[in-house]
Structure formats: C-alpha cells, structure tokens
C-alpha cells in the first residue's frame, strides 16, 4: 500500500499532466503536499518509482510519466491544507483516472515542414518532405504543420526571420488572428486577417509595410498560428 502522501503526489502529477502536459516542478510538488523541503519530494518520487507507479524519463528535465494508479485511488485524496488552496484544489478534483494517459512533458512530435512562408512580400510556399521535431506540449488538439518564416513584416508580433511557425490546419479564422493565407492560389503569407468593406485585408506587424487588400475569392485560409520555435546559433 502507498502512504497518503504518495497517493497525493501521484494524483497531483497525473492531474498536472492532464491539464498542461508538463510535469510539475519539485517546488510545486513541495507546496502542493505541504512539505518542508524538496528532499521529501525526492523520497516520495523514488518510492513511487521503485513500486512501478511512475518513471522518470531519461535526459528530460521535469519529465515524469504516470504508469499506473493505485487501486484505492478514490480514498487517497485528503482535505487540502488551507495554506495552499490552489495547488491542492487540483488534487481534490480528481476522482477517476483518465481514459487515455497524457503525453509526457518532453515528448516530441515530427511535424511536416512545408518550406518557407513570407512574413513580408508573399512568396511561394514550397512543399518538402522535411520534418521538424516539436515538443508535444507546445501543441493543442488538431492537425499541425510547420513553416519557416522569411522576412520581417511580423516583427512587432514577435515573429522574426528564421523562426518556425507552428500552424494549426484550418480553413476558418476570426478577425485579428494570425493566419497562413494562400493568395491567388499561388503565394502564401503569414499575416493578421481582417475583413473590411467586403474585402480581405492581410495586415503586417511592422510599420514599414502596408496592408495587403484582396477580394475574398483571392484568399484562402490554410491555417492559423499556434506557436513559434526559434533556434539560437
């Protein structure tokens, strides 16, 4: 049998993975369990690991995976301490294990890398067979792909030349969202989408560039920005 603290810790880790896809830090676990030091967290994790309930993923910071739940999990959660309501409220909400185990924090997904996309004057989006490894925790639900950004017209939105745009595949978007727009069925660009006076306006995020205005039939939304990756050399 597991101790009450071991029960509480495994449930806290499980719920945090469900909600964010990222393992809680040792400091967060210490606060959630109302422990005096991180060494207590280390002992609890080691005990759970020895019993086969969790495992630490090698060479991955803050990466824990819940392998199984204790049989008496529904009786394991104790009343949260008043001093840490936010953290322990997460624990208290857990009655049943999820149907599908969440992915670990540093799992990697290989996204299709569909060439370069303009963040300036539209250029042709090149189709390639390349892929880009992306931490799964950066992505939400749905199908995604990646594009390398070319140009500087979105720098005021924090998007720079050489960044990798992580794009959720969709053919619809709301005004003000950053989208991948296929223009005149031949050129792709990354811009803010606006609808104005029966036209489609693609707005840059750089005062040096002018908005691009098209007829609705000239613009097809191919996705909206879900995240960015940047490499430092």
Residues assigned a catalytic role:
153, 191
* Two tokens, residue 166: 């992580």
* Two tokens, residue 162: 């050489």
Which residues pair with residue 65 across a beta bridge? 55
Q: Where are the alpha helices (DSSP H) in the chain?
A: 4-20, 26-32, 38-50, 85-92
* Phi (first) and psi of residue 130, to 5 degrees: -75, 160
Q: Cβ neighbours of residue 43 under 8 Å, at least 6 residues apart? A: none
* Two tokens, residue 167: 């794009």
Cα–Cα distance, 215 to 201 (Å, whole number): 9
**Contact (Cβ atoms closer than 8 angstroms) between residue 16 and residue 104:** no
Which residues pair with residue 66 across a beta bridge? 54
CA quadruple 124, 130, 135, 141: dihedral sign:
positive
Strands 144-150 and 131-135, sheet pairing: unpaired
**Contact (Cβ atoms closer than 8 angstroms) between residue 36 and residue 25:** no
Give the distance from CA 178 to its chain's centroid. Answer: 17
């Amino acid at each position: 049998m597991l101790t009450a603290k071991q029960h509480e810790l495994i449930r806290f880790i499980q719920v945090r993975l469900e909600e964010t896809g990222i393992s809680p830090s040792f400091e967060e676990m210490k606060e959630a369990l109302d422990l005096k030091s991180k060494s207590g967290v280390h002992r609890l994790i080691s005990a759970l690991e020895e019993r086969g309930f969790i495992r630490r993923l090698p060479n991955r910071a803050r990466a824990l995976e819940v392998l199984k739940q204790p049989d008496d999990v529904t009786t394991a959660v104790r009343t949260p301490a008043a001093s840490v309501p936010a953290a322990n409220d997460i624990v208290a909400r857990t009655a049943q294990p999820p149907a599908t185990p969440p992915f670990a924090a540093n799992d990697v997904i290989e996204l299709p890398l569909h060439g370069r996309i303009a963040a300036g004057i539209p250029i042709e989006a090149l189709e390639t067979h390349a892929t880009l490894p992306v931490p799964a925790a950066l992505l939400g639900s749905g199908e995604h792909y990646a594009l390398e950004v070319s140009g500087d017209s979105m720098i005021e939105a924090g998007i720079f030349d050489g960044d990798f745009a992580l794009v959720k595949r969709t053919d619809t978007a709301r005004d003000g969202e950053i989208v991948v727009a296929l223009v005149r069925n031949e050129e792709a660009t990354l811009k803010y989408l606006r609808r104005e006076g029966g036209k489609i306006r693609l707005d840059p995020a750089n005062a040096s560039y002018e908005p691009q205005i098209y007829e609705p039939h000239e613009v097809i939304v191919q996705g909206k920005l879900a995240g960015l990756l940047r490499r430092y050399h």
